[in-house]
Amino acid sequence: MAHMLIRHDQELNSLRRTDQFILFLNPDPTGALHLLIQESAVWKTQMESQTQQQLQPLRQHLVLTLLKALQHNAGKIVESKDTEQLYQKSVKMGLILADRSFPFHRWDGQKQQLVIDKKQPVSSQKMFQHLTELQEMMLDKEMVVRFHALRTPTSHDTRAIPWRLQINMRSDRAYDLLFQLQHNSIWMAVGATMKQHTLTQSPLATTLQSMVGKSKGRGKGKTKTPTPPKQEA
């Protein structure tokens, strides 16, 4: 039974790679995490005075809020002058390059930090086209299946909060756009990083795997005690 549950968990994780992404939102005051928390509170207040049909689903509202903030912040950076602090800080962070394009990042194990990848950067014009298209697609209430934090944010957080974004599997275009933008520096404009959902076991499956391993370990090395022959009376 345990093996069946572990296999089921592995199959679910494989499916998650086809429609889900993980965003890590930093608790920096200038990032989008605080904006999403604030918008969630506003949405819940509005629910008390309006019907559910009058409001966008919270998951849809938050995704649109994030994309709008992303486009707004990135636009300010691209339009800033070379002498402005915003531009100089963005270049130093690796958020944009000198030609105003957005590079991709990868993790450098030796330096223990993100570095600019050799992958072709995305021009600012193409990037804003992608963001505009994503916002238009997210106006469909069925597009966003899930968008929520994987752990509850607190005021004392110093580490990034992971959020799960699941897109309707019927929209290949939305998935393709998000897939193209994973690991891109554009997400730094809202204090975030984004990647495809990885194949990790759930805590329950990990516990079961450990229990199965221990059970096998206890069984090794044991020999069955032979039954002594019956003595005739």
pLDDT in the model for residue 5? 45
pLDDT in the model for residue 214? 57
pLDDT in the model for residue 231? 47
CA nearest to 183, candidates 88, 119, 92: 119
| Global confidence as pTM | 0.77
> Cβ neighbours of residue 17 under 8 Å, at least 6 residues apart?
196, 197, 198, 199
How far is the C-alpha of 231 from the C-alpha of 233, rounded, in Å? 6
Give CA angle at 33 (205, 184), nearest 5°.
80
> Count of alpha carbons within 13 Å of 144, Cβ hemisphere only?
25
User: Virtual CA dihedral for 62, 31, 184, 150, nearest 10 degrees?
Assistant: -50
| Dihedral sign from CA coordinates of 118, 120, 123, 126 | negative
pLDDT in the model for residue 8? 41
Written as six digits, the tokens of 155 are 């005021």
Element (H, E) at 21: strand 20-25
pLDDT in the model for residue 197? 78
| Dihedral sign from CA coordinates of 35, 37, 42, 43 | positive
* Spans of the chain below 70 pLDDT: 1-18, 51-53, 199-233
Radius of gyration of the chain (CA): 24
pLDDT in the model for residue 40? 93
Give CA angle at 198 (61, 8), nearest 5°.
100
